[in-house]
Amino acid sequence: MTQPRQTPPQPHARKRSPLPWIVLSVLLVAAGIILVPKLLDTNGANGPQTVSDGEQDPLLAAIAKCDPVKRSTKLEKSNRVLIVDGAGEKTPGDGLSESSMTCVLDALQVPGALSSRMYSTVRADGQLQGDWPGFVATWTNDKAKGLDLTVTRD
């Protein structure tokens, strides 16, 4: 009787080193850590940012968002001082409307108590001052002339 023929043993297969795959994996992870946040960063796409974002000058951002034609806002002293002219009852077309003024205060993250104080100020109070982290504001509020505000960045 004939026996089935046995296949000769296969030579040992050479095991490949996993090192190239490990190096490639580490490089891909590193690239992902660096590139993905930059690709997903939408701060620039959402328009001007608030003070807390810290990437864009908050005074410039407030102007761009709330008075893009720069009709009633002005920057001075190397963009460290923002002057805002509010509209009053006698001159409603000259100056920033109340909603645009609120936009500026929100963009600069003025605390609610301080912005309420600004709006409730009357002519007899004269010029008042308040501050919040990073800023000092002085203002006058006259019903006829409107809220005039100067914000200085520290």
Domain range list for the chain? 50-153
| pTM listed for this prediction | 0.61
Main-chain dihedrals φ then ψ at residue 8, nearest 5 degrees: -65, 145
Q: What is residue 55's predicted lDDT score, i.e. its pLDDT?
A: 53
10 Å Cβ neighbour count for 151? 23
Q: What is residue 131's predicted lDDT score, i.e. its pLDDT?
A: 93
Q: What is the DSSP letter of 54?
A: -
10 Å Cβ neighbour count for 94? 14
Q: What is residue 151's predicted lDDT score, i.e. its pLDDT?
A: 95
- The single residue listed with the structure tokens 């026996």 is 3
Dihedral sign, Cα of residue 65, residue 127, residue 93, residue 143: positive
Q: For residue 129, give the amino acid letter.
A: Q
Answer whether 136's CB lies under 8 Å from 154's CB. Answer: yes
Mean pLDDT split into 10-residue runs, the chain, 154 residues: 68 76 88 78 48 66 89 90 90 83 92 92 92 94 90 91
Q: What is residue 68's predicted lDDT score, i.e. its pLDDT?
A: 87
CA pair distance 51, 134, nearest whole angstrom: 9
